[in-house]
Amino acid sequence: MTAMRVELERFDAAPALPASAAQQAGEEARLACFDQGYAAGWDDALAAQDADLARLREELGRAIADLGFGYREAHRHVLLALRPLLVDMVGKVLPAIARAALAEIVLELVMPVAEAAAGRPVELAAHPAAVPVIEPVLAAQQALPVAIRPDPSLTPGQVLLRADESEQKLDLDGVIAAIGAAVTSFFEAAAEAGRGRGAAEAGPARDAAGAAPARGAAATDMARGAA
């Protein structure tokens, strides 16, 4: 009778891995932990950088807006301070200068016309109030054949000179009125431009401050993708 050999399942512990394999597995685990920690630190650094950039952009936008506002305010105050002075000059100083210089200006206008007339009569029409101012100056030039005629239709700063078929008009009052209109137009245009610049500069400053967080987030995404 032949004896039968029965193979029973063995429950002995599995053979231990070689020392080199165990060391390699531990090294891989440490590297994985390092990579995770590095990635987390990188993300935190990017988030902090984005927050700083957003804050700096917001502060820069406010500073630009404040600077523009301060310049506009200073410019506006200077114009407001100059406006009464210029208005008084146009309304009071220039007319006084024109009245004082009217006779000499008329003399300079009359002399070449009288010389060209070659002795033919020259007629000068002026406002009645201006005649006593002009007459003595022309009378001092005895060689000038000029007849002065009062004309109430003219203003005190207007003079009409006729010789033969030609006619010349001196209009100092019109010049002063044109200067006054130019001064008024300048201040109105400056005020309108100041209001327009204020609205235009305030908009981009607000847009730059509001767009900063979005740009920071986009930069973060790009950096993370590169990592």
Per-residue model confidence (pLDDT) at position 179: 92
Per-residue model confidence (pLDDT) at position 47: 80
Q: Are 130 and 159 in contact (CB under 8 A)?
A: yes
Per-residue model confidence (pLDDT) at position 197: 61
With residue 168 as reference, give the H or E element that holds it.
Answer: strand 166-171
Per-residue model confidence (pLDDT) at position 121: 81
pTM: 0.54
Per-residue model confidence (pLDDT) at position 196: 67
Q: Are 109 and 159 in contact (CB under 8 A)?
A: yes
Per-residue model confidence (pLDDT) at position 9: 58
- Identify the segments of the chain with pLDDT beneath 70: 1-23, 25-26, 66, 68-69, 194, 196-227
What one-letter code names the amino acid at 69?
F
Per-residue model confidence (pLDDT) at position 227: 46
Q: Per residue in 27-63, pLDDT tens?
A: 777 777 777 777 777 777 778 888 888 888 887 877 7
Closest CA to 91 of 176, 9, 207: 176
Quote the tokens at residue 69.
């506002």
Using CB atoms within 10 Å of the CB of residue 216, give its burial: 0 to 12 exposed, 13 to 18 middle, 19+ buried: buried
Per-residue model confidence (pLDDT) at position 226: 45
Task: Write out the E strands in 66-126.
Answer: 122-126
